[in-house]
Structure 1
Amino acid sequence: MEPHSDKSLLRELPKVDQILLHRDMTRLLQTTPRSVVVESIRNSTALIRKAILEGQIFEPGTVHDRVLQKAVALIKEKTRPNLRRVINASGVVLHTNLGRALMSESARDTVTAVSSSFCNLEINLESGKRGSRYEPVEELLTRLTGAEAALVVNNNAAAVLLALGTMAKGKEVIVSRGQLVEIGGSFRIPEVMEQSGATLVEVGATNKTHPGDYQNGVSENTALLLHVHTSNYRIVGFTRETTVEELVQIGQATNIPVMSDLGSGFLVDLAKYGLPKEPSVQETVAAGADIVTFSGDKLLGGPQAGIIVGKRHWVEKMKKNPLTRAVRINKFTVAALEATLREYLDEENVLTNIPTLRMLTESQEKIRVRAKELEFKVRSLVQAKVSLEVIKGYSQVGGGSMPTAEMPTYLLALLPELMTVDELAVKLRLAEPAVVARVRDGKYQIDLRTVQPEEIDMLAEILAYVINYGEVIRS
């Protein structure tokens, strides 16, 4: 029978009740709100009706099935979570757009435990009286960093804002011109300082700032000497920056406190593994900084958080600042951060237990083995013509950390025959789970540094399906 576009096909459009009786719909109704199912059927019917009126070709007797298929697709689209799982094959370890640090297994387990039951977030179980939500992490932070006290807020921008507002509101803060960084999302240190109520005093030049520049900038209205670690960019060549140690000497001579914003603070010396030397939190505290701020979801490898450590006098003042309540952490952050910090007590296993540290320090040979494993599995599954090759490349730290770091890695480079590389990239981003990798040198490149070992089989199946059929895998 020849397909045709006769408008008489409109009589074949099924009623909602007819579609609801189909076994596919009765199955979906077990897990999907009835209102969503009914709305999807009506939308599907309207779309097929429009297609018929526009003269699209249908075989008689197929309209019912077309409405059903479209309705099922609409239901799946409407019920799919907006925040979905992604396989990070980009080689960027701390990919801001993909949620930055992966949490350790212990952190995930702890969050699950406190999310499925009540917990002692703000109650002292021994006394039965109200406690502090910061207690579970404060002792760990002071033990690991050597600081007198600690406080945690929801991100590092909030930590900087709270510290400046507590230590220098209505007063002047001296900072090097070369450290007036933009910390992401167009938020800049001068703007954060303005919101805190402090007044910025720039000293030095973009490429050079000497201790004398700070000394000359001190006035009777100076409340703070601020050091901002330029973790997301580097100035090279004819440069000079005043160190935290030098600032502390000036602060002690003038009775002015010193604050250091590390941005991507870390507790393990990653220089031993070929990464650039960066100031650790412990070193900055030991140098005498009164307050040190850093992120929890970057090189620390935990949940998003702004961590403040330093002298008890200043930390206690921050705890009493009304802004602290507005930027406080919830029980999930407390649980995940505590579990992450406990991993650092085990020096032998911390590099393997925290995914961020494992990915940053993993040997090239282990990455090469995973790349070859993926290549083998894709070859065994793929039927369409595609070029597959394991090549060398470089990974990035990401997250505004170590911008000059180059980590040698291995990539699986693909070049399909039935579609362009850009089309392949789009289809893989729309898969379930989504896959995000690189398109470079005319090939689709998968960096195995950031692909988790347990994702290899799943990734191979997704790649093979999209290459074979040119379609997106949907759950």
Structure 2
Amino acid sequence: MLEVYKEIGVRDVINASGKMTILGVSTQDDRVGKAVYYASKSYVVMEELIEKADEIISKFTSAQGSCVTLGAAAGIAITTAAVITKGKLNLIEKLPNSQGMKNEIIIQKGHSINFGASIPQMISLGGGNVVEVGQANKVLCEHIEESINEKTAALMYIKSHHAVQKGMVSLEEMIEIAHRNNLPIIVDAAAEEDLKKYIEMNADMVIYSGAKAIEGPTSGFITGKRKWISACKRQYAGIARAMKVNKENIIGLLKALQLYENKDLKSLIDEQLKIVNWLREEFNKIEGLRAEIEKDSAGREIYRLKLKIDENILGFNAKKLINALECENPAVYTRNYYSNLGYIHFDPRPLKEGQEVLLLNTVLKTIDRLKEN
């Protein structure tokens, strides 16, 4: 394998964090790389390619239509612009200034998250005025219903492990509220693995990343009802111009979707469990560490290792171990949302074949060094 990062003086990474933007999201099948390469060698009428991509993507999602994007974050801005302008050019050209327009986007307080940037900021890029309802740990249907007014353009639901999982109004209830009030609902499903579920639930627009679960190049798409998808595409005459996706990445996305549909997901899950079970056994041999297996908090079929760092025994806390691992060469990146509680999570999905051994040895070596200091 070409060590392209070492050649320019950038460290390699052992990624035990997940399909994360800060680490380049995911690795690609060679067939995706070849598709990108060959697409770069020819010209194409971009409008024709975008329309053909609409047709192909929609077969994978069972939706009426689909719009390619630069990524899921761009999808939030574009869907917001679509529900505000409804595809009218004179309004498109005014965005993100939506003064005087029907521009309020309702989201639950527990969904107003930061994923590297904030959801409200992405909505604002599309001209949306964010209306957060309820509290961070409790939202009721009444909060949503009573916030709807003549300025409401859409409801938005964030399906993410970053979002608060308890005390929120369900997607089913939000869809019912939206449609009862003749409003569209947008679902941000960036990292979700099921490409049909939310369309089958009657969501109007669903946003996916092309580079996360699908393992394509930098890309994404919005899939949903034809009326709204048409309005999304029209945004390329406005704010989406700054978020356009190139021909190579569209072709790479289409190839990745083809491969994704044929993946043996059961075998991938079995491999995840094999790795985390082995790591659990090995880490539990070390005094001061307690390891267990934990399923993804958002309900996806993802299994991770949850490692508790006992500061009283080891003499350092989880944050210190995390910082030390990230300074290694190769750097080791873990999943650290609960480091303040003393936990580190290890996601097996991004590990290359056999890399779990290097991961274990690097962690144990780092622990020994920290104990000596």
TM-score by length of 1: 0.56
Distance verdict in 2 for CA 1:362–1:182, change over 3 Å:
same
Distance in 1 between residues matched to 2:34 and 2:70, nearest whole Å: 21
Q: Matches of 2:280 and 2:139 in 1, distance apart?
A: 46
Is 2:200 the partner of 1:286? yes
Aligned amino acid, residue 308 of structure 1: I
Q: How does 1:450-469 map to 2 (within 5 A)?
A: 450-453=350-353
Q: Secondary structure at the match of 2:261?
A: coil
- The percentage of counterpart residues that share the same residue type is 21
Letter in 2 for 1:231: H
Return the letter of the residue paired with 1:319.
Answer: K
SS at match of 2:153: strand
Partner of 1:303: 217
- Specify which of 54, 65, 73 is matched with residue 138 of structure 1: 54
| 1:212 counterpart letter in structure 2 | E
- In 2, the alpha carbon distance for the partners of 1:344 and 1:448 equals 18
- Displacement of 1:157 after TM fit? 1.5
State the match for 2:89 in structure 1.
none
Match of 1:436 among 318, 322, 332: 332
Question: Displacement, 1:406?
Answer: 7.8
Provide the rounded CA distance (Å) in 2 between the counterparts of 1:172 and 1:309.
Answer: 21
Deviations 1:246-283 (A, max 9, x none): 3333333332222222232222xxxxxxxxxxxxx422
Mapped partners of 2:7, 2:294: distance in 1: 31
TM-score by length of 2: 0.69
Q: Return the letter of the residue paired with 2:202.
A: G
Q: AA paired with 1:171?
A: K
Higher relative contact order (CA 8 A, sep 6+): 2
Aligned twin of 1:364:
273
1:184, CA displacement in angstroms? 2.4
Matches within 5 A, 1:297-336: 297-321=211-235, 322-336=238-252
Structure 1 residues 211-220 or 284-293, which shifts more?
211-220
Return 5+ residue gaps in structure 2 as ranges: 1-5, 85-97, 308-319, 340-344
Which of 235, 255, 262 is matched with 1:339 structurally?
Answer: 255
Question: Do the aligned partners of 1:394 and 1:407 also contact (CA within 8 Å) in 2?
Answer: no
User: What letter matches 1:265 in structure 2?
Assistant: E
Q: How does 1:50-449 map to 2 (within 5 A)?
A: 80-83=7-10, 85-88=12-15, 91-115=16-40, 118-120=41-43, 122-123=44-45, 131-135=47-51, 137-168=53-84, 169=98, 170-185=101-116, 187-236=117-166, 239-241=167-169, 243-267=170-194, 281-321=195-235, 322-346=238-262, 349=264, 358=268, 361-365=270-274, 393=291, 402=298, 407=303, 431=329, 434-436=330-332
Is this contact kept in 1: 2:134–2:143, CA < 8 A?
yes
How many residues get paired? 326
Alpha-carbon contact 1:92-1:396 (below 8 Å) kept: no
> Per-residue deviation at 1:147?
1.0
329-338 vs 154-163, which deviates more?
A: 329-338
Q: In structure 1, what is the Cα distance between the partners aligned to 2:193 and 2:301?
A: 15
Q: Which structure has the bigger radius of gyration?
A: 1
CA distance in 2, matches of 1:428, 1:317: 43
Would the alpha carbon gap of residues 454 and 339 (structure 1) be closer, same or farther in structure 2, given more than 3 Å must change?
Answer: farther
Q: 1:192: how far off? A: 2.7
TM-superposed deviation, 1:221 = 2.3
Shift of 1:97: 3.1
CA distance in 2, matches of 1:104, 1:394: 31
Counterpart AA for 1:103: Q
Shift of 1:285: 1.1
| Distance (Å, rounded) in 1 between the aligned partners of 2:109 and 2:224 | 24
